Amino acid sequence: MEPIETDLLVIGAGPGGYVCAIRAGQLGVSTVIVERNRPGGTCLNVGCIPSKALIHVAEQFHIARLQARDGGALGISVSDPRIDLAAAVDWKDGIVSRLNSGVAGLLKKAGVKSIQGEARFIDGKTVMIRSEMGEQRLTARRIVIATGSRPVELPDLPFGGAILSSTQALALTAVPRTLAVVGGGYIGLEIGMAFAKLGAKVTIVEAEARILPQYDTDLTKPVAERLKELGVRVMTGARAGGHAKGRLNVETGGGSERIAAEKVLVTVGRTPGFDGLGLDELSLAMSGPFLRIDEQCRTSMRDVFAIGDVTGEPMLAHRAMAQGEMVAAIAAGRPGGWDKACIPAICFTDPEIVTAGLDPEAARAAGHAVRTASFPFRANGRAMTLGAETGFVRVVAREDNHLILGLQAVGAGMAELAAAFSALIEMGARLEDVAETIHAHPTQGEALQEAALAALGHPLHI
């Protein structure tokens, strides 16, 4: 096959890679993107999108089961609801397919050449691409490594058979009778809670002293309470060992126990997706297992960039997208640098958790004297009409000038407040800005204004 020369080569078509390629193409940069699988990466194909589809299916089925069992106060009668998980997976796969096609169409529209195959470095300017058409040499002025990440595998619980990665769990076509989730972080809890709602008996096994250790206890307490309501057993300070005959061995401070587990979902973290990339041909500085980058996403080799999960935490699709857009601008000769004030994070548990900026403890650790206040959804009219009174919105601001340093919330549908939270912090808003902005009634977003009012010392509805 004829060799290819291009200005920019992007290796990996996940959220960071495809955004980088699209923007570079729009800016007139000759761009090639190489992806071994379908466009969209982990997030679109086996992560963010499929998991949210499963969560939605599970919630609808759970509501139907509750109505059939209890009738409820809404006056809705349902009888004998059943779940066809295979049909739900087909629906989920249809969404993924539509988004795959959409990404491919956007790349084409931007003038980007897409190649399905595996790229392996020869040197800092050259890769060999292996596809079903054969091998092809590609030379680029600049290269972007955007190969994402893969699930971490445990030595005693290798993936295969009854031991599932998140990818495999999202492809199940039948609900397991019993499911053990090893890892009480956001991925494990999101999927574990979904399967609990679908009818599985779920056990969470977490090595730390509590679930979701990356969030403060005020935010995680409503999730812990909801797990109890769903009948999910949570084992903290526990470590999972081998699995045999439908049972998982778990070691705790009180000894060992074999718990029922037809399937075991392992969600103990993710590691960079460097497999087959040939990084040993390059001299790239590392930061632990990740590629070390500067504020422009440059690696230690000239004209080799890295974005997304290969650069470490936070491993979030929207961070990768922002990095990709910045690198595309740099490739087009425009100035660029990372100047983001915050990166929002969302945990799609029940209830949802959203954070932006600093929580109270982090703000004080950074040397700020702060004032903070929360507004509970039990005092919010819209939350009452949704039957979703659990949770709150919290604001963290500087004591001296009331500059907002962080915003957090836990509750139903809180993911949709992430944009507002981020915008306020990026724009340098103060408590007074939020308190004096008219918020539409009745909405859950009013809790944001009420939290600001409470921080200023004059709340209205509490």
Number of neighbours of residue 403 by Cβ within 10 angstroms: 15
Whether 441 sits among the annotated catalytic residues: the reply is yes
What are the tokens at 225? 């309470």
Query: Taking the mean position of all CA atoms in its chain, how far away is CA 127?
Result: 30
What are the tokens at 179? 């499911």
What are the tokens at 459? 């709340």
What are the tokens at 27? 């800016």
DSSP 292: P
d(Cα 308, Cα 122) in Å, to the nearest integer? Answer: 22
Number of neighbours of residue 332 by Cβ within 10 angstroms: 17
d(Cα 387, Cα 196) in Å, to the nearest integer? Answer: 20
What are the tokens at 34? 């190489």
C-beta of residue 165 within 8 angstroms of C-beta of residue 251: no
What are the tokens at 59? 């919630």
The contacts of residue 38 (CB under 8 Å, 6+ apart) are: 44, 45, 100
Number of neighbours of residue 426 by Cβ within 10 angstroms: 14
C-beta of residue 264 within 8 angstroms of C-beta of residue 164: yes
d(Cα 115, Cα 113) in Å, to the nearest integer? Answer: 7
Length of the chain: 462
d(Cα 103, Cα 108) in Å, to the nearest integer? Answer: 9
Give me the residue label for tokens 């548990």: 349
Q: Is 254 exposed, middle or buried (0-12, 13-18, 19+ CB in 10 A)?
A: exposed
Using only the alpha carbons of the chain, give its radius of gyration: 24
**Pairing mode of beta strands 126-131, 118-123:** antiparallel
Helix (H) or strand (E) holding 420, with range, is helix 418-426
Catalytic residue among 402, 439, 441, 458: 441
The contacts of residue 416 (CB under 8 Å, 6+ apart) are: none
- Tell me the catalytic residues: 441
